[in-house]
Structure 1
């Protein structure tokens, strides 16, 4: 499956649900991309493609010879990711995939091995790597501007809980939600997590407990340089969608997400900040990042740049999430070496 012309790239988007529609719009705006929208629901794919002036087809057609596809973007349900990645590896097609690669470590490792054997490019959708705030925090940390980092606080809080059918297959709040914070933590600091202690509670809809999940959680992480990290997550943050990272060093600090739309309310006399309408969800907050990561993927497919987030990065973030999940369920500190050895 080779490019038809040096300046054109045939991209098949698999999945045209909520995140898929956003990806379709972003890809349609990248110069030189010939977009094909694919879904098991062909009618839905046709509607999205028609809106954007793109082609559409069933997912099965993507991997057939002569389909004119140079790369694949996977935005289908989590349970399908592993199978589709393995099909990309078998066909020798570069791919972008929303996290997670697979619901468990074993499936993730199978995908990594297949991708390495096939020698194809891969990129995982940790979009915060394309957020200007996280990028600037990374620059300051790596440049030593904050001094020695002693503590970090991170949080990701949804305004409203997801639907029950999503929770049933999400893998839990640490895999679904805080995994983005875990990836950002590694990416910003350049250090690895050594151990995790996590706890959680169900304070809202009882169906979270039905699926062995929680809707409020806190984790304490110890990094390999002994930096202490706290991470919080919630499915019930009524003020708005809140994502922040606060980094404190011996010389200075840096905070990601402290801007006019952050869903905070000060009760100090005379305080007016923040003064804009809060973010409502992750799609609105990271819309520009999704576009940037997909444009970067097109450059990866064209051979202009190495992948900014290859598939092995997904294994590291998932390992932390698995450790946090185990800690929450067993009420103990879990070392990452325990996860990596299993």
Structure 2
């Protein structure tokens, strides 16, 4: 069997990275690219730059990566589904639950592989963290907190920070805890004069009673991507910028300091930073997409399915509703 023939639509900031990684991934070949605005980063190489998804489909592709603005996801994805083409759609899957549902149903009804680009699941720190949580190294999980802050990305114009950025935290939190969001309470702000919110702080409770806290914005001069998972045996801290994972264990050494002994909690123990094999998350994501198309079962990690991506948008809409209503909102099924 020859390589899978892949197309790429959207040659902007993310599209240029997808083009590079597709070319570096075994078992796939980039055969077609398209972007109605041309090729600003010069990634097409010897390929003609098409103007539409139909031009990709005409090249006889097996799968496609969709890296166009969120507002165009439904149009492009449905066209690919109609043509029987598997797709990896950049996150969020769509701008709202209704359009996301139509995308999910189109791919599921045709038996096609549909993946969403929630790339944090493929970060080495979070992959290791999930395995360690599942193995019981933290004992019972109590809380998950994330911080995702940085400058405004000028490429984003059609959604706010909740759907573009916080969906990463929604996805990784539910995935780490292996439990869905039940309630959320949020506050948002618009500080930069744009149409959509650029700052959000929200708390939540998961179905398994883990509580969560998320601080996300486009207004910080430094880039921060941190996940802290606290449990009965200590706390894991994952930095997904560097791919580092550190474990802070609960203290096991008896203290003779009376004022400290009076506190009936935990004390500081040993700190361990793990040596991890660090592979580029986008490359791992593409390998998962390739393996899903080829039906290779048991590949680790698997894709983020479109239905999972839809659930992330559902939670994001509950976050925005909570901020509007200034109340705790239950996430609909």
DSSP 3-state at the match of 1:139: helix
Asked if the contact 2:11–2:43 (Cα under 8 Å) also holds between the matched residues in 1, the reply is yes
CA RMSD after TM alignment: 2.3
Counterpart in the other structure of 1:79: 71
CA contact (8 A) 1:15 1:37 kept: no
CA distance in structure 1 between the aligned counterparts of 2:185 and 2:88, rounded to whole angstroms: 32
In structure 1, distance between residues paired with 2:28 and 2:136: 40
CA shift in 2, pair 1:297/1:69, >3 Å: same
* TM-superposed deviation, 1:42: 7.0
Gaps of 5+ in 1: 1-5, 263-285
- The answer as to whether partners of 1:39 and 1:57 remain within 8 angstroms in 2 is yes
- Alignment partner of 1:310 out of 290, 305, 308: 305
- The answer as to 2:183 corresponding to 1:198 is no
Q: 1:237 is matched with which residue?
A: 220
Q: Aligned equivalents of 2:67 and 2:330: distance in 1?
A: 32
Greater displacement, 186-195 / 39-48: 39-48
Structure 1 residues 259 and 299: CA distance shift in structure 2, 3 A: closer
Structure with greater helix percent:
1
Give 1:58 deviation, angstroms.
3.6
Any idea what SS the aligned residue of 2:295 has? coil
After superposing on structure 2, the runs of 4+ consecutive aligned residues of structure 1 that deviate more than 4 Å are 53-56, 258-262
1:166 counterpart = 2:190: no
How many angstroms apart in 1 are the aligned matches of 2:86 and 2:60? 13
5+ residue gaps, structure 2, are 245-277
Rate the CA distance shift 1:105–1:260 in 2: closer, same or farther, 3 A. Answer: closer
Displacement of 1:225 in angstroms is: 2.1
Q: Structure 1, residues 134-161: CA drift from partner, whole Å, max 9, x if none?
A: 1111112111111111112111111x12
**Matched residues in 2 for 1:255 and 1:13: separation?**
35
Say which SS state the counterpart of residue 183 (structure 2) adopts. strand
Give the SS at the match of 2:280. helix
Output the CA distance in 1 between the equivalents of 2:284 and 2:240: 21
Partner of 1:44, secondary structure, is coil
Deviations 1:196-246 (A, max 9, x none): 00012234x222xxx2x33222101011122211100121221x2101110
Q: Structure 1 residues 261 and 72 mapped into 2: Cα distance closer, same or farther (>3 Å)?
A: closer
How many residues are paired up? 296
- In structure 2, do the counterparts of structure 1 residues 38 and 58 end up closer, same or farther at CA, with 3 Å as the change threshold? farther
Task: Map 1:107-146 to 2 at 5 A.
Answer: 107-146=99-138
Q: Against the structure 1 CA distance between its residues 29 and 179, is the aligned structure 2 distance closer, same or farther, given a 3 Å change threshold?
A: same
- Per the TM alignment, residue 63 of structure 1 is displaced from its structure 2 partner at its CA by 2.2
CA shift for structure 1 position 13 = 0.6
TM-score (norm 2): 0.83
Q: C-alpha distance in 1, partners of 2:41/2:315?
A: 39
Instruction: Give the Cα–Cα distance (whole angstroms) in 1 for the partners of residues 80 and 180 of structure 2.
Output: 30
Structure 2 Cα separation of the partners of residues 162 and 46 of structure 1: 16
1:143–1:216 distance in 2 versus 1, CA, 3 Å: same
Choose from 239, 250, 270 the match for 1:257.
Answer: 239
